[in-house]
Amino acid sequence: MSTLQPQGDKLRKAVKWVSEKRKQTPDINLTKLVDDAGFQFDLSPKDSQFLLRFVKNDDHQNSA
């Protein structure tokens, strides 16, 4: 039996997309970038909030 998780897949693709955009433009506005990802990958508000927390947390870890 296979389990479909389209929201998880969208979120993974959005994380990858955000990561690529940040490599291209390191000083990009994270909130706007996450908003753009939310539209592009049709993320739910909950997934968009998770993505924003994830990229901000990743940013803190990379700068430490």
pLDDT digits (tens, 9 = 90+) for 6-41: 458 999 999 999 999 999 999 999 999 999 999 999
Asked if the structure places residue 55 within a domain, the reply is: yes
- Count the domains in the chain: 1
Annotate 17-52 with DSSP letters as a single string.
Answer: HHHHHHHH-TT--HHHHHHHHHHHTT--HHHHHHHH
Asked if the structure places residue 8 within a domain, the reply is: no
Q: For 3-12, how does the pLDDT look when each residue is reduced to its tens digit (9 = 90+)?
A: 444 458 999 9
Asked if the structure places residue 32 within a domain, the reply is: yes
Give residue 18's pLDDT: 95
What is the average pLDDT across 34-51? 95
Range of the structural domain that residue 57 is part of: 28-64
Q: What pTM did the predictor assign?
A: 0.78
Asked if the structure places residue 17 within a domain, the reply is: no
